[in-house]
Structure 1
Amino acid sequence: HYDYGMRAVMAVLRAAGNLKRRYPEDDEYELMLRSIIDVNLCKFLSHDVPLFKGIISDLFPGVVLPKADYALMETAMHEACTEMNLQPDPYFFLKTIQLYEMIVVRHGLMIVGQPFSGKTMSYRVLARALSLMAERGEEGQVKCEYHVVNPKAITMGQLYGQNDPQTHEWQDGVLAVVYRGCAQDQSPNRKWVVLDGPVDAIWIENMNTVLDDNKKLCLNSGEIIAMSSVMNMIFEVADLAVASPATVSRCGMVYLEPHQLGWRPLCVSWLAEFPEHFDKKFKERVLGLFDWLLPVSIRFLRREMKEVAATTEEGTNVAVTLMRTFRALLVAPLSDPKAITKELKKEMETHIDATFVFALTWSVGGSAGSNEHRALFDTFLRAAYECRLADGFAGPSGEKYDLPEDIPEGHITASTPLPPAERPVRARARVPPHGTEGVEGEEGDASPPPPPEPA
């Protein structure tokens, strides 16, 4: 998705002009350097960023770039994150600010990144932050609204419009209706048309007249709809493998990488959604188990096991599966405060640990593609849970799992032992109704337990 044609040069010039009008007294070397960084840095992969910084340090020797002042916007973004139960991660804020800078200089742009990289929440948080700033009258911002369309969920005719096969009358498509509504709206609010779906040469080529300097959508009916000055076309895509160079050169790029965020912000937001009667100690225990066992389990999965279906490299989707399984087995049955009795409170740590190990087995371990790899994960998880990884444990590849990132310093310890490997147990109920009896089981049956009955 890298492009260095004349359109990219024009974007740099527009950014430099905007900065010059905003800071007329500043050094032009600094303004030009900032414009180059603002337009280009956001599209680079993480391993290309040091190379880019080395190039600009050679081109602008001795030029020290002052930090951009986005204090008011960052304050509004913090408020937006709080409203949406999101975590104010520094990388997420950086990419959201880069998205804003790209929206200012390009009317068409693409947010590129694999699942769980934060693409959707990035523009939603930015839209809410700009609206909050507009309500307070900060920096001359205006409210922002966005309209989301999935271009691959419907046919080309339903997207742009087509002649009815029976009556031969023209019928507008979904995108044509949304685009016309935004173009004809006279309000000063920012309007974003978000196309959330894969980009391919079939439907995206019709957008070329919108994305270049014409800024016009040309329909087969002969109607031409001009884009207003407050509109932006935003494409949310996973990759640009089949996009043509003509399309790529017309769009600004903001690239997000899922490994920069990881699974932990999702976990913290997930814990915040627990019912209020789950106390802080309960949530800290759950988060401690995640921090202790999940990173090393994902590393073992990547290094030693063959998966039946590919998962994300940083393991965020298996982490989400772990969260959903844990919630269904323990949190949902205890959603009523009356279900947590005094007897159950005494054994709560045991229930938390047992449920977590089961959920971890069927999320990370459940990705294994064969019984042989399931047995490998069983051996590994027992070693990790019993704190034997530092005693020379090694996987089939010879890899050891005794690094500081594998065994976090000061991690919590297990509150209950695992059942012996030669005596598989099927749990009939994770949390007994009203806490009247312990966890039941049958020896010799290793099938997964049924979900617990609600208390």
Structure 2
Amino acid sequence: MFSDANEPKFVEEDLPLFYSTLSDFFPSYCGEAESDEEFKDAYFAAVEERGLQASASSLTATRQLSQLLLARMGTVLLGAPMSGKSTAILLLADILSRLARSPKRMNASKRSASRRRRPDGRQRAAEAFSGRFASRTSRASFAAVRARGRRRTAEAESAEESEEASEEESEEASEEESEGGMENEEGDAEPAAGGGNEMYAVYYRVVNPKALSISALFGKVDSLTQEWSDGVAARMVREFAATETGSPKWIVFDGPVDSLWIESMNTALDDNQMLCLPNGERIKLRPEMRLLFEVTDLQAASPATISRCGMLHFPSRGVSWESLVRSWLNRLPHDPFTEELREDLFEYFRLVVPATLTHFQAETLESEIASPLLSLVSSLCNILQAVLHIPLDPAAEQRLESDGPKDDRAFNAGMHTPQQI
């Protein structure tokens, strides 16, 4: 959709002008996004599993990010710190993994793969004709062979149709069995987890490009031995390019954009989709690979880089302090004492936090390091938890320690490269 690819570029103040211009050129445009109930269900399930708070802005940003990843090799997530950029990537990875594990999509992919592998009836008849009767040159025998070939073709086509019908019946039966096995005690369907579906998971790596030098990021040639050693980004691209799982693979550059390193990514972002290393080697990116950039501004980015990427803008008011506090309270243990304490703490937050944030927004205080307001609220939650000696819920603590929707050890096959550098 045209608006899905262009709406994320604009800030909140420019959206009415964009919709007005769009309605002038397309009077029948209603301005409503296409509804995808399956995507929404996966979004709410991912939010609930991670103990986050669902919101319309978060759902819209996640859906827009999915559209940009379909259209562009590179996507820039532009916004202030604590505006929801990393959370959108994390939720979309969970959503795509859930959608790929759904029984209907798995059966559809298996059916299309089996059809690509199996030759049709005409092809089988032609192979039989060319292999068994190519040596007969007389006209009479050739006519008989043609008639026999037509009969073989008709028989092969009827056999193929019956085979496809039996396959569809078996797939429908297996789908009903899988859906029945996924129901919980209340009768609601739950997403499948594990169970041999690891190939459908989303893999991604996160790197801070400004924490490394150019040689450590892309690689260098040893001056003494003249041997080439890959940098962090080059190694990630090489690993993902050498893996033929078909699962989405993302490399997230979480840090300021600098012309010293971003210009080296231009060949990977354009139609060539090749990463050119300083030693002259070129690594071809696979179609399922994507490059994401989490930045606060694009002052150091060149127009050549910006024109090659999709743009998704995150407003600074996209995340409220209530959502942040609610998510923190959800990570506390679920026992009678903590349940009562949870509601009391939120009431205290409602009394203190709004007035404090208004005081900070008035710019009456000077600070050497500018901190986002939500970062101050997050620090308050951490300090309060340490003072009150409140432990985290074990399940929530495990979710915080995992930096991705799926453990990457199976993909690395024994490699000990950290997820986040």
Asked if TM exceeds 0.5, the reply is: yes
1:9-408 matches, cutoff 5 A? 35-64=1-30, 67-137=33-103, 142-277=200-335, 278-303=337-362, 305-309=364-368, 311-312=370-371, 315-332=373-390
Return the offset for 1:91: 0.8
Any stretches of 5+ residues in structure 2 without a counterpart?
110-199, 394-421
Q: Secondary structure at the match of 1:171?
A: strand
Q: Which amino acid aligns with 1:60?
A: F
CA contact (8 A) 1:112 1:255 kept: yes
> How big is each residue's C-alpha offset from its partner over 1:147-193, in whole Å with a ceiling of 9 and x where there is no partner?
21221111111111111123121111111111011112111111111
Hey, what's the Cα distance between the residues in 2 that align with 1:138 and 1:269?
A: 32
Q: Bigger shift: 273-282 or 133-142?
A: 133-142
Hey, what's the Cα distance between the residues in 2 that align with 1:67 and 1:110?
A: 22
Hey, what's the Cα distance between the residues in 2 that align with 1:301 and 1:150?
A: 29
> How big is each residue's C-alpha offset from its partner over 1:189-244, in whole Å with a ceiling of 9 and x where there is no partner?
11111111111100000111011111111112221111111111111111111111
Return the offset for 1:310: 5.2
Q: Which amino acid aligns with 2:331?
A: E
Q: Secondary structure at the match of 1:73?
A: helix
RMSD of aligned Cα (Å) = 2.0
Q: Secondary structure at the match of 1:240?
A: coil
Q: Secondary structure at the match of 1:252?
A: strand
Q: Secondary structure at the match of 2:318?
A: helix
TM-score normalised by length of structure 2: 0.68
Gap change, CA 1:300 and 1:66, over 3 Å in 2 = closer
Q: Secondary structure at the match of 2:260?
A: coil
Return the offset for 1:107: 1.0
Hey, what's the Cα distance between the residues in 2 that align with 1:243 and 1:67?
A: 31
Hey, what's the Cα distance between the residues in 2 that align with 1:149 and 1:295?
A: 35
Q: Secondary structure at the match of 1:225?
A: strand
CA contact (8 A) 1:311 1:317 kept: no
Return the offset for 1:312: 4.8
> How big is each residue's C-alpha offset from its partner over 1:402-424, in whole Å with a ceiling of 9 and x where there is no partner?
xxxxxxxxxxxxxxxxxxxxxxx
Hey, what's the Cα distance between the residues in 2 that align with 1:301 and 1:120?
A: 25
CA contact (8 A) 1:72 1:138 kept: no
In structure 1, what is the equivalent of residue 128 of structure 2? none
In structure 1, what is the equivalent of residue 169 of structure 2? none
Q: Secondary structure at the match of 2:368?
A: coil
Return the offset for 1:293: 2.3
Hey, what's the Cα distance between the residues in 2 that align with 1:70 and 1:331?
A: 43
> How big is each residue's C-alpha offset from its partner over 1:291-316, in whole Å with a ceiling of 9 and x where there is no partner?
22211221122226222235456x21
Return the offset for 1:276: 2.9
Return the offset for 1:138: 5.0
Return the offset for 1:96: 0.6
> How big is each residue's C-alpha offset from its partner over 1:44-69, in whole Å with a ceiling of 9 and x where there is no partner?
11111111111111111233355412
Hey, what's the Cα distance between the residues in 1 that align with 2:304 and 2:392?
A: 54
Return the offset for 1:248: 0.7
In structure 2, what is the equivalent of residue 339 of structure 1? none
Hey, what's the Cα distance between the residues in 1 that align with 2:32 and 2:60?
A: 16
Q: Secondary structure at the match of 1:260?
A: coil
Hey, what's the Cα distance between the residues in 2 that align with 1:335 and 1:55?
A: 50
Q: Secondary structure at the match of 1:320?
A: helix
Counting matched residue pairs gives: 300
Q: Secondary structure at the match of 2:233?
A: helix
- Overall identity of the aligned pairs, in %: 36
CA contact (8 A) 1:143 1:189 kept: yes
Return the offset for 1:283: 1.1
> How big is each residue's C-alpha offset from its partner over 1:255-308, in whole Å with a ceiling of 9 and x where there is no partner?
112312122111001111223333333211111121222112211222262222
1:419-438 matches, cutoff 5 A? none
CA contact (8 A) 1:152 1:198 kept: yes
Gap change, CA 1:229 and 1:116, over 3 Å in 2 = same
CA contact (8 A) 1:274 1:331 kept: no
Hey, what's the Cα distance between the residues in 2 that align with 1:304 and 1:211?
A: 41
Q: Which amino acid aligns with 1:213?
A: D
Q: Which amino acid aligns with 2:37?
A: A
Q: Which amino acid aligns with 2:21?
A: I
Structure with the bigger percentage of helix: 2
Q: Which amino acid aligns with 2:36?
A: Y
Hey, what's the Cα distance between the residues in 2 that align with 1:153 and 1:138?
A: 44
TM-score normalised by length of structure 1: 0.63
Gap change, CA 1:136 and 1:304, over 3 Å in 2 = closer
Q: Which amino acid aligns with 1:127?
A: A
Q: Which amino acid aligns with 1:85?
A: G
Q: Bigger shift: 186-195 or 296-305?
A: 296-305
CA contact (8 A) 1:311 1:318 kept: no
Poorly superposed stretches of 4+, deviation over 6 Å? none
Return the offset for 1:78: 1.4
Hey, what's the Cα distance between the residues in 2 that align with 1:137 and 1:177?
A: 34
Gap change, CA 1:40 and 1:67, over 3 Å in 2 = closer
